[in-house]
Amino acid sequence: MKTVHWGILGTAKIAQTQLIPAIKRSRNTEVVAIASRSEKVHEIAEKLEIPKAYESYEALLNDPEIDVIYIPLPNHLHKEWITRAAQAGKHVLSEKPVTLTADEAKEVVAVCKENNVLFMEAFMYQFHPQHQRVRNILISGEIGEIKMMKASFSFYMDPSERVKNIRMDAAKGGGSIYDIGCYCIHSIRNILQTEPKEIRVQAQIDKEQNIDLSSFVYMKMVNGVPTIFDCSFDMNFRHEYEIIGTKGRIKVPRAYRPDNYGGEGHIIIEKENEQRVEKLIADQYAMEVEHFSECVIEGKNPSYSVENTIKNMEAIEACYKSIQINDKVEF
């Protein structure tokens, strides 16, 4: 079977610690090149045993050996480099959020289609099988009619580090919703298989950096289910969601980063005086890489569609509009 050759556009921490190792663990994949706008790329390439190192992004895109470009750049650069990679005839896996607005997301999707290349936004968590298991439990009716879903994603960023952290830079797409709240939106939409029709956000704004340090969000869904989520750079590490029904509830305490626990996800099902815990182990980063590579080989669209990506971006944008106008946003 064909080996899919990957090029890494940037030397971000997530590329070095997560995606490149995942590509090395995956079937039918190989990292053949990495690029940076710094001489440090040669040292990184040697450390990670990557054959080719380029000191410009353009040189990486011009490499005819590369099939797929992975983009872990700051959020505000996603649109430009997804566009340029697609125009160079490369398939693209880009970190979330895809862009900073829904219109930008539509533009890059259109460019990818025009150039006959595949695109996928890198929400790696969704490839862990615990989420499909949750969907199956909901479909079975075990917890009854769904009445509410809530999600949380947070970590504590030391105040001394905030000034220099890119997540705090408004001009570069910083903010807790862009960075981690997007996971909560994504999981709520995709677990419940519906879209928001009303969003209201209360945010704690960092006055110096002018970004949402913490956000508390209400989303009423088209199917009538109320949902809430919170995201924060100012709270203890949490990454969980919970679905409450008329007969029970489901809690997923390792929803977004089960890789921190050796890939082991937990699903807790509670009904009256009864509780059971289901455990599933998977390598979500490698599963993401293998899925996208398989799509490239077979010429099929990813399971996470570009239409789904645009819908997620529309919800993110509505959250920020709600903060701006200090009122609800209706779709």
> For the chain, which domains are there?
4-122 (3.40.50.720), 125-287+313-330 (3.30.360.10)
The DSSP bridge partners found for residue 248 are: none
Degrees (nearest 5) of the Cα angle 127, 128, 131?
Answer: 100
Radius of gyration for the chain, computed over Cα atoms and rounded to the nearest angstrom: 20
Helix (H, G, I), strand (E, B) or coil at 300: coil
Degrees (nearest 5) of the Cα angle 183, 6, 130?
Answer: 35
Helix (H, G, I), strand (E, B) or coil at 318: helix
Mark the ranges of the chain whose per-residue pLDDT is less than 70. Answer: 1
> Which has the closest alpha carbon to 309: 119, 111, 77?
119
Written as one letter, the residue type at 95 is: E
- Give start and end residues of each alpha helix (H) in 32-77: 40-47, 57-61
pLDDT score of 1: 67
Q: What is the pLDDT of residues 205-241, one digit of tens each?
A: 999 999 999 999 999 999 999 999 999 999 999 999 9
Q: What is the pLDDT of residues 84-98, one digit of tens each?
A: 999 999 999 999 999
| Cα 183 to Cα 239: distance, rounded to the nearest angstrom | 9
Phi and psi for 202 in degrees, rounded to 5?
-110, 125
